[in-house]
Amino acid sequence: MKSENYSVYDGTAVITLNNPPVNAMGHAVRLDLMESLEASWADPHVHSIVIMGAGKLFCGGADVKAFNTPASRAEPSSRTIIKKIEESRKPVIAAIHGYALGLGLEFAMGCHYRIAHQSAKLGLPEVKLGLLPGGGGTQRLPRLTGVEAALRMIIEGNPVGAAEALEMGLVDEVATGELLPAALHFAARVSTRDEHPVVSRRQAQPPIEANWFKNQHEKIAATQKGLPAPLECLACIEAAVTKPFDEGMKFERERFDVLVNGTQSKALRHLFLAERAAAKIAGIPANTPVADVRTVAVIGAGTMGSGIAMSFANAGIAVILLEAKQEALDRGLAIIRKNYERTVSRGRLAPEEAERRIARIEPTLEFERLADVDMVIEAVFEDMDIKKTLFRKLDALCKADAILATNTSRLDVNEIAAVTTRPTSVIGLHFFSPANVMRLIEVVRGKLTAPEVIVASMAIARKIGKLPVLVGVCDGFVGNRMVAQYAREAEFLLEEGTTPQQVDDALKKFGLAMGRFAMSDLAGLDISWSSRKRQAATRPSHLRYSKVADQLCELGRFGQKTGAGFYRYEEGNRTPIPDPIVQKVIEDCAREAGVERREIDDAHIVERCIYALVNEGAKVLEESIVQRSSDIDLIYVNGYGFPAWLGGPMFYADTIGLDKVYERICTFHEQHGVFWTPAPLLKKLAEEGRTFKELSSGASPA
C-alpha cells in the first residue's frame, strides 16, 4: 500500500482523508480511501481500521463544486464505500476531530463506531444549501438518535458538540486527550468482538406522539415559506421509520435528485461558493502578510458608530468610541446598553456577557486617545468637509501603520484619502444598518489603497463575523448605486398607474424581504430628500424625474418616524396602511409630468424594478467596480433583502436567460429612454449566449 494517507499501528490501519482545506469527499479522496480500505482488509496483520481527517478537521462534506457533475457519483461512490464498510468483519472506526459535516458525518455514520474529540462538531448542514443529506444521513441518523433529535439536526442544519452527540447516541465515545491514541485504544478494544454494529440494520423507532409527522409537516410548512428542502427532509425521516433501509435510501436519493436539480438549491450553492470566492483578491497574492488589527477606534456614536462598536465588542475586541459632544456620547452608549439589554431579555445573551461586551467599549471625548490604535473607523455625519477635516486630524495624530477607514455611504473615498499624507492607508468600510446585526461590509478600495490595508481590513471584518466584499469607488458603491435605479423605476411605476401597495406586494411576492416603499418609510425619506435638494441645480432638465417623494417630504411625511410616508402608520404600529392622500399626490405628479396612468400587472413591476438592478449590475461589473458578478449577488442578498433562493440579481438574470433579459431591457429603452441604455456587457453576453456566472469563473470583465 503506497498511499501516504495509510499507515498501520500495532494491528490498526489508520486511513487519513486528505484533501485540503476541508477534506471534501471528492472523487480522488474516495478512490484513495477505497484503495486503503482494500489494503487493510487484505492485510492479515490488520485487525481494525481507523479513519481520520488530515489537518484541522475530519471532513467538511461533499465537494460542492462537483454537485450535478458525473464526478459526484463516480465509483467508488460514498454509498458503495459505506456498503463495503458495513460488510467488513474488521471494525471500522471514524475518529472525528474539528468538524464532521454533511457527507463527512454521513460517512462516519456508515462506520461501525464513532469516537469524537471533545471539541469536535458534527452536523448535517445540507438544508442550508436547499438540499437534504443524500448520503444516507436521513436514514441513518434517525436509527442512531431517534426521529425527534434527527429532525432537529437535519432541519436546523446546525452542528452539535461532541458531548451532545454522545448523549444523542450519535457517537460511542468522546476523547478528552489526543484523538489518535484514544482511537487506537478504542480500536484494539473492539477488535476482539465477534460482531460490530451496523447502523442500517437497526430499526428506527417511530415517534412517541401520535400524528407527530403530520404536526411537524404543518409546523415546517408554516415557517419555511415555500422552500422545498425542509419538507423533503421530513419526508425522508418518515421513510426511515416506515420503509426498510434500502427502500428508504432509494427514496432519499430520489428526493435529493429533485432538490439538487432545482433552481433554489443551485442558487443557494452559488451563494455558498460566492462567499468563498469573495475572499480572493486578484492581484494580491494569498501569502501577502496580514497585519493583526488588535485595537480599534470608532468615531461617532450615532446610528452606525454605536452598531460598529458593538460588532467589535461582540467579537472580543476592545474598541474606543469617540464623540464630539458628551450628550451624543451618552446617547450612543444608552443605545448600546438598550440593545444588549434587549438581547438579554430575549434570553439570547447572559447578563454577565453583556456587561463584558459593554466594558470593551471605551467611551471618550479625547481625540488623542486615537494615537496608538491599529484601525480607525469614521462614522460621523455624511458631509465631505467634516470628513476631510477629520481625516487631516487623523493623519497628523495616528501611528504610521494605522488603517484609516471611512463608513461613508456614497462619498468619494479617493477625495477623502487625498487630504492625508498617506492615501495608501485609507479605505472605505461600508457597514449596513443595523451594523451590529447586518453581516455585509462593502470594503471600498481607493485608487491608492495599499494591498496590505485591503487584506488586513478584509481579515478583521471576517474576524468580527462579517462578510466583506471588495468594491471600487463610484457613486453609492455597488449596493446603493444599484438600488437607486430600482427605486427610480418603482417611483415611475407609481406615476404610470400603480400604488405603493401594489408595487410592494409584487416585489414581496417575487421574494424581496420588504417592498420598496415600506423600506423607504422605515429608513426615512428625509435623508435622500436632502441629497436630492443638493443635486437639484445640476439635474439635467430633459430627464424624467418623479416628484412624488419630494412632495411627500414637503408635507412632512418622512416615513415611520413621522407616522406617515408612502403609507400612514397608527401609533405604536409599524404596519403600513394605504393612504388616499398619497394616491392624490401620485396622481397630481403624474398629471403634471404628462404621464398617462394605465393598468400595470405584477410581472411588469418585477421586470422594471429587478432588470433595472441587473442592467446597472452589468455596468458595475464592466467598470470592474467588483471582481465578479457573484460579489454583486452577495451584496444584494446580504444587504438588500434579495431572496437567497433566487441567488442574487445577477444569478437570477442568468437563470432567466441573458438574451431574454436583454430583449426586455431594449424594449424598456425604446419606451422609457436613456435610463434604460443597455449595459454593453449585457448585450455582449446575450449575443454570445453566455452568462454572468461564466465570467465569474475566469474571464475578466474587460
Strand partners, 116: 96, 174
- The rounded distance, in Å, linking the Cα atoms of 276 and 274 is 5
Residues 228-267 that bind ligand NAD (CB under 6 A): none
**Grid cell in block for residue 440:** 455585509
Q: Does 215 bind ligand NAD (CB under 6 A)?
A: no
**Grid cell in block for residue 170:** 450519535
> 247 catalytic, yes or no?
no
- The rounded distance, in Å, linking the Cα atoms of 163 and 149 is 14
Which CA distances in Å does 504 have to 139, 522, 616, 672?
42, 13, 21, 21
The least CB distance from residue 423 to ligand NAD, in Å, is: 19
- If the CB atoms of residues 211 and 389 are measured against ligand NAD, the closer one turns out to be 389
CB-CB contact of 104 with 120 (8 Å) = no
Q: Of 14, 154, 240, 322, which one interacts with ligand NAD (CB under 6 A)?
A: 322
- If the CB atoms of residues 258 and 381 are measured against ligand NAD, the closer one turns out to be 381
The least CB distance from residue 474 to ligand NAD, in Å, is: 15
Q: Does 459 bind ligand NAD (CB under 6 A)?
A: no
Stretch of 19-27, 238-246, 297-305, 681-689 contacting ligand NAD, by CB under 6 A: 297-305
- If the CB atoms of residues 224 and 303 are measured against ligand NAD, the closer one turns out to be 303
- If the CB atoms of residues 141 and 308 are measured against ligand NAD, the closer one turns out to be 308
Q: Does 16 bind ligand NAD (CB under 6 A)?
A: no
3-state secondary structure 157-217: CCCEEHHHHHHHCCCCEEECCCHHHHHHHHHHHHCCCCCCCCHHHCCCCCCCCCCHHHHHH
For the CA atoms of 187, 190, 195, 198, the dihedral, rounded to the nearest 10 degrees, stands at -60
| Vertex 455 angle, CA 445 and 478, to 5° | 35
3-state DSSP call for residue 7?
strand
- The rounded distance, in Å, linking the Cα atoms of 697 and 692 is 9
Closest Cα partner for 81 from 64, 97, 94?
A: 94
The least CB distance from residue 294 to ligand NAD, in Å, is: 22
The least CB distance from residue 321 to ligand NAD, in Å, is: 9
Q: Of 324, 344, 349, 656, which one interacts with ligand NAD (CB under 6 A)?
A: 324
- If the CB atoms of residues 147 and 322 are measured against ligand NAD, the closer one turns out to be 322
Strand partners, 299: 322, 378
Q: Of 382, 526, 587, 588, which one interacts with ligand NAD (CB under 6 A)?
A: 382
The least CB distance from residue 525 to ligand NAD, in Å, is: 13
Task: Specify the amino acid at residue 562.
Answer: T
Binding pattern for the stretch 402-441 against ligand NAD, x by CB under 6 A and - elsewhere: -----xxx--------------------xx-x--------
Q: Does 392 bind ligand NAD (CB under 6 A)?
A: no
Count of residues in contact with ligand NAD, rule CB under 6 A? 24
The least CB distance from residue 480 to ligand NAD, in Å, is: 9
Stretch of 216-224, 268-276, 295-303, 619-627 contacting ligand NAD, by CB under 6 A: 295-303
| Vertex 184 angle, CA 181 and 185, to 5° | 85
Q: Does 43 bind ligand NAD (CB under 6 A)?
A: no
The least CB distance from residue 122 to ligand NAD, in Å, is: 38
CB-CB contact of 188 with 182 (8 Å) = no
Stretch of 147-155, 322-330, 396-404, 681-689 contacting ligand NAD, by CB under 6 A: 322-330
- The rounded distance, in Å, linking the Cα atoms of 372 and 351 is 31
Among 35, 75, 126, 247, the active-site one is 126
Stretch of 28-36, 160-168, 381-389, 613-621 contacting ligand NAD, by CB under 6 A: 381-389
10 Å Cβ neighbour count for 199? 20
Stretch of 103-111, 300-308, 545-553, 647-655 contacting ligand NAD, by CB under 6 A: 300-308
Name every residue whose Cβ is closer than 8 Å to that of residue 321 and which is 6 or more positions away in sequence. 297, 298, 301, 305, 306, 309, 329, 332, 333, 361, 362, 363, 364
Q: Of 281, 318, 328, 600, which one interacts with ligand NAD (CB under 6 A)?
A: 328
- The rounded distance, in Å, linking the Cα atoms of 274 and 632 is 10
For the CA atoms of 623, 628, 629, 633, the dihedral, rounded to the nearest 10 degrees, stands at -120
- If the CB atoms of residues 124 and 413 are measured against ligand NAD, the closer one turns out to be 413
- The rounded distance, in Å, linking the Cα atoms of 668 and 670 is 5
- If the CB atoms of residues 311 and 408 are measured against ligand NAD, the closer one turns out to be 408
Q: Does 381 bind ligand NAD (CB under 6 A)?
A: yes
- If the CB atoms of residues 248 and 479 are measured against ligand NAD, the closer one turns out to be 479
CB-CB contact of 289 with 452 (8 Å) = yes
Among 106, 252, 323, 496, the active-site one is 106
- The rounded distance, in Å, linking the Cα atoms of 558 and 554 is 9
Q: Of 165, 187, 304, 454, which one interacts with ligand NAD (CB under 6 A)?
A: 304
- If the CB atoms of residues 284 and 418 are measured against ligand NAD, the closer one turns out to be 418
Q: Does 498 bind ligand NAD (CB under 6 A)?
A: no
> 106 catalytic, yes or no?
yes
10 Å Cβ neighbour count for 582? 24
Q: Does 468 bind ligand NAD (CB under 6 A)?
A: no
**Grid cell in block for residue 152:** 432537529
Q: Of 206, 262, 302, 511, which one interacts with ligand NAD (CB under 6 A)?
A: 302
Q: Of 76, 91, 248, 305, which one interacts with ligand NAD (CB under 6 A)?
A: 305
Q: Does 384 bind ligand NAD (CB under 6 A)?
A: no
Task: Specify the amino acid at residue 148.
Answer: E
- The rounded distance, in Å, linking the Cα atoms of 657 and 660 is 5
Helix (H) or strand (E) holding 458: helix 451-463
- Active site positions, annotated: 106, 126
**Applying CB under 6 A, which residues contact ligand NAD?**
299-305, 322-325, 328, 379-382, 386, 390, 407-409, 430-431, 433
